[in-house]
A and B are shown apart, each in its own frame.
Chain A
Amino acid sequence: MARIKLVVNGQKRELDLDPTMPLLWVLRDYLGLTGTKYACGIAQCGACTVHVEGVPIRSCVFPVSAVQGKEITTIEGLSKNNDHPIQIAWIEEQVPQCGYCQSGQIMTAASLLKRNSSPTEEEIDNVMSSVLCRCGTYPRIKIAIQKVSGE
């Protein structure tokens, strides 16, 4: 056990934790931020994607000790009123079906557009192919990202 200091969605948190615990389980089971999802546990599907200092990471394999003091943003902190351009486009294009993977899709798409405000289709494919969706929402995800980048 160790004293861990975190900054999540702008709020400072302090917890006594196993420092090897992946950030994912700290967010979900200790901070109640359940929007970030578990789906594979080996960084293969992207459902657990959060931003650390603005960079997308796979929180299921990222030990909590490695993010101490760094700024962590989860889906709950992406926007105040569900009004990030990606969220608006997701609703407009009716992207989610079951919705489980969508936090990871949205966090990945948001960071893609932050780095590159008008990605080509190939760039969208390259980045978004790392996030899995079993419901098959890929065609709509692509359209939604293109819509935001075209604006």
Chain B
Amino acid sequence: MRNIPRRKFIQLSSASGAFLIVGCIPSAEGKEKLISKVTSNLPSIDLNQFISIGKDGSIILFNHRPEMGQGTYQSIPMILAEELEVDIDLVEIRQSQASRELYGSQMVVGSRSIQTQFEQLRIMGASAREILRQAAANKWETDLNDCRASNGRVVSNDGQVFTYGELIEDASKLEVPQKPPLKNPDQFKVIGKPFHRRDIPLKTNGEAQFGIDISVPGMLYASVERSPVFLGKIKSFDESEALKVQGVKQVISTSRTVYGRTRFGVAVLAESYWAAVQGRNVLLIEWDNQSLEEVSDLTIEKESLEASNSNGNELFGRGNTDKILDDSKEVIEASYQTPYQAHVPMEPMNAIVSVKENSAEFWGSTQNPNGIRSFIARKYEISENDIKINYTFMGGGFGRRSMTDVVEEAADLSKKSRVPVKVIWSREDDLTQGPFRACSLNVCRAVINDEGKVHALEHKIVAQEIRNQTGENMKAGRQLMGGINTNYTIPHLSVKGVLRKRHIPVSYWRAVYHSTNPFAHESFIDELAHRVKKDPIAFRLEMLDQPRYRRVLEEVAVRANWQASRTDNIGKGVAIAERSGAYFAMVVEVRKLKGRIVISRITTALDLGICINPDTVKAQTEGSIVMGLGAVYSGLTIKNGAVNEQNFNTYPMLKMDQCPEIETYIIKSNAPPDGAGESGLPTVAPALANAIFDLTGKRIRKLPIDMNGIM
């Protein structure tokens, strides 16, 4: 029960009656203990913070992780239902309240929702099941072993039946078993089956509510003009024209904090969003750009190349890589570059906040509901108990909605205007303000021995680091080496980081550094394979004894028909990577078509341990690949200290006609589950670049790729 606190909790009381308390209290031995106690005659009783059972047999299961498309709305209740022994299609699923006390972390980042709480969620389901069985055993005056839980009922050996509803009152008076027996994975009936997601019907008729869809009484809409050059300060502004726009109420300067740096803006508050935008369009602001206008892609590239001559600091090392590279006559070297990327959730960033003297309330879509509560509490010195968090479905997040900067703007404007304020970012705000996936320069060097094997390899990453964006400390942290495969049995391996600091803000973007480093690493491994004239999959397998890596690589080779002889018109490329514990292999197949290169098929194999909902894992894999391909075909450029692209017309997303056929094969496993939300993304760029090399002999070392310009 690592992340779900064992503390007393009180769940969903109605104003009119008493309620059931089930939860955890410290015991005499100082350990925390699961308890239950009835104080209620309400028709529905909450067995714990995840499970509520009505006397009529109705069952509610709560998902406590905000839903941004990743599917935990379905897969968390599936885990509960498995151990509780109920039909997942017949229960009601609800989103839980935001409460660190009841649920521990509810943050949805790093594909961790299932990975970190699988065991605890099973215990929640199993402990409820056990007291229901015990209640039946007591009623029948029989042994617990004679009572079987199945399909929302307890059945005795001699065929007697109680529904859970009939048992709930008795059950809730029993002591909750601290270590309930958990099912053997071979007995799973819900986990591992492709159940339909219950949030999906809501998302086909406009019913699903996102943050941007909420309005609260008395609120004003705000649109904020911010300096296009990051860190620009307001010299002066003239609001007179804006105030003439019908519906505009106030013009207020505001600020927000992005990784330790203050970013300024001028907000137009109005009765409608449209009026706020009209007012913003006629604001006159003079910016002090802090002499940052000279920064561009060219200066960043030059500065990165210079920095790559430095050794930075070693993030991972084995053997004696530096000496071998120094002493070798032939060192193979290649450099790879990736651009900045924006998150671009389809729902633009937004937040509604109402800040009062001693209380506050938030409405919106967030990956981090409890973080927002703490942020507002700290900033305005309000007790966390007096801050209400109302979170909705998210229209995508991809890391961007883990931050509190937009909430800060809305809170600041609410505090200053004394009304609830709804801030909506335009798409242009989203693209030009960031923060962004960091751009990178990766320099790889290797020595191959006489047997054609990699003897030493150095991978140097030159990039900004999310956790260290300001100040004097220039030591690169291990975060920077995400996605570098240290499982290759290369005897001498050194991963180095050369930290860069710039005024351009960077942040967590789906798969984070796993979205850039593997492009270099797996392209370089491919270059080495071709150098020694070995098959790229065979070459990798020679260097791998990690069984899960071997398994996915062997699987994808079969599924993609890797060994089939290639015609002149077909190229295939492979790449492997691990993200959030999931092992992933991908083969991309490309073809020549009317003078261009197109992807004809993508085949993937992944091992993420126990798979809760295979259809959701497939959907996440397809989604990760589409996002990864988008980041292969387009990138942000920096000009005059600012982002050049403004909207989808200049920063194109992947479209349907660019989306290849995707086949996903999930390896069967009883290992604990790992993350599914990002694991398909890291291999996209290298597998595609390797396929293009296979087809054309041209090596792509810089993203984005112009697929029309290769041949």
Contact = CB atoms under 8 A, between A and B. Distances in A.
B contact face: mostly helix, strand, loop, or mixed: loop
B656 A82 contact: no
B206 A35 contact: yes
B689 interface: no
A90 B648 CA distance: 25
Contact of A129 (B210, B274, B656): B656
Interface string A18-30: 1001100100111
A5 interface: no
B427 A18 contact: no
Contacts of B662: 139
A21 B277 CA distance: 11
A138 B344 CA distance: 17
A82 B624 contact: no
B661 A29 contact: no
A142 B396 contact: no
A139 B659 contact: yes
A6 interface: no
B88 to A, nearest CB: 15
B659 A97 contact: no
Interface in B132-173: none
Contacts of B647: 40-42, 44
B627 A100 contact: no
B206 A75 contact: yes
Contact of B274 (A22, A125, A133, A139): A22
Contacts of B426: 41
A29 B215 contact: yes
Kindly name the residue among B221, B272, B424 whose own CB sees the greatest number of chain A CB atoms within 10 A.
Answer: B272
Interface size class of B (residues with CB under 8 A): 35 or more
Interface stretch (B119-127, B196-204, B380-388, B582-590): B196-204
Contacts of B68: 98
Nearest to B207: A35
Contact of B347 (A30, A94, A98): A98
B279 to A, nearest CB: 12
A49 to B, nearest CB: 12
A79 interface: yes
Interface in B611-629: 615, 619-620, 622-627
Contact of B648 (A36, A38, A40, A140): A40
B199 A99 contact: yes
A106 B204 contact: yes
A51 interface: no
Interface string B559-602: 00000000000000000000000000000000000000000000
B656 A141 contact: yes
A79 B205 contact: yes
B204 A37 contact: no
A146 to B, nearest CB: 12
A56 interface: no
A140 to B, nearest CB: 7
A69 to B, nearest CB: 21
A136 B344 contact: no
Interface in A55-81: 74-76, 78-79
A100 to B, nearest CB: 3
A98 B200 contact: no
A139 B661 contact: yes
B231 interface: no
B273 interface: yes
A136 B346 contact: no
B177 interface: no
B275 interface: yes
B303 to A, nearest CB: 31
A78 B206 CA distance: 10
**Listed residue (A18, A130, A131) with the most chain B CB atoms within 10 angstroms of its CB:** A18
A97 B69 contact: yes
Contacts of B344: 134
Nearest to B278: A18
Given A42-B647, A138-B656, A97 B623 contact: yes
A118 interface: no
B419 to A, nearest CB: 16
Interface in B280-335: none
Contacts of B203: 96, 98-99, 102
Nearest to B680: A136
B622 A139 contact: yes
Contacts of B661: 139
Contacts, number: 180
B396 A42 contact: no
Given A37-B347, A87-B204, A102-B204, A94 B623 contact: no
Contact of A98 (B206, B273, B396): B396
A139 B622 CA distance: 8
A126 B273 CA distance: 33
A66 to B, nearest CB: 15
Contacts of A138: 626, 654-656, 659
A45 interface: yes
Nearest to A126: B657
B274 A25 contact: yes
A73 B207 CA distance: 15
Contacts of A135: 69, 346, 396, 623, 626
B393 A99 contact: yes
Interface in A94-151: 94-103, 106, 124-126, 128-142
Residue from A25, A96, A106 having most chain B Cβ neighbours under 10 A: A96
A38 B212 contact: yes
Contact of B619 (A101, A103, A140): A140
B27 interface: no
A133 B653 CA distance: 8
A25 B200 contact: no
B511 to A, nearest CB: 13
Contacts of A25: 272-274
B395 interface: yes
A7 interface: no
Interface string B38-77: 0000000000000000000000000000011111000000
Contacts of A8: none
Contacts of B658: 129
B195 to A, nearest CB: 10
B532 to A, nearest CB: 36
B348 interface: yes
B213 interface: yes
Contacts of A97: 69-71, 619-620, 623
Contacts of A98: 67-69, 203, 345-347, 393-397
B69 to A, nearest CB: 3
B275 A91 contact: no
Going nearest first, the 4 A-B pairs with the smallest beta carbon separation are A35-B206, A136-B626, A99-B203, A100-B395
Given A98-B67, A98-B68, 16 more contacts: A1-B246, A18-B278, A22-B274, A25-B274, A29-B272, A37-B347, A41-B647, A45-B648, A99-B199, A100-B210, A102-B203, A129-B655, A129-B657, A130-B655, A134-B627, A138-B659
Interface of A: 1, 18, 21-22, 25, 28-30, 33-42, 44-45, 47, 74-76, 78-79, 82, 87, 90-91, 94-103, 106, 124-126, 128-142
17 contacts: A21-B274, A33-B206, A35-B205, A37-B210, A39-B427, A40-B647, A45-B653, A75-B206, A76-B205, A90-B200, A97-B619, A100-B345, A100-B347, A134-B344, A136-B622, A136-B624, A136-B627
